[in-house]
Amino acid sequence: MLHIRLAQGARSLTTVGLVDSGSTTTFIPTDMASILQLDMSAQQHDAIGAGGPFRNIKSELEKLILVKGRASIFDEFENVKVEIPVNPKAIPYVVLGRDTLFRRYDIKFEERNEKIILKRHGS
């Protein structure tokens, strides 16, 4: 899990995001999408998760910010394509898929030390 801030216009919220190497897409829970007033008018389509298929709506988030410590910005992603599950119980937290974090960073999970190391590609 990483600390993140989601921002859409003047609205923002701070939460945690699950780093998921098995997810091709970034997902935002329905309740958070509503708070941010994301556009949820797109046609529904299916995605397949660990629990089987579930319906989603494609949308776009202005900013997804990785937060270091309590408030300092570690990195920022703009105009992020996101999926919003139709069923509010489908995904309880933000899922950071391979379409965002993994395109910019090599990611190392240190289970024993309970930490995630992000190394920018090419550095």
> What tens digit of pLDDT does each residue of 53-109 get?
788 899 999 999 999 876 788 899 999 999 999 888 888 899 999 899 999 999 998
Chain mean position to CA 57: 14
- 70-85 b/e (C-beta count within 10 Å ≥ 16 → b): eeeeeeebeebebbbb
For the stretch 54-65, pLDDT in tens is 888 999 999 999
Cα separation, 56 vs 38, whole angstroms: 13
Q: Which domain holds residue 54?
A: 2-120
The pLDDT assigned to 71 comes to: 72
**In this prediction, what percent of the chain has a pLDDT beyond 90?**
50
Residue 52 sits in a domain whose CATH number is 2.40.70.10
Number of domains in the chain: 1
The model carries a pTM of 0.87
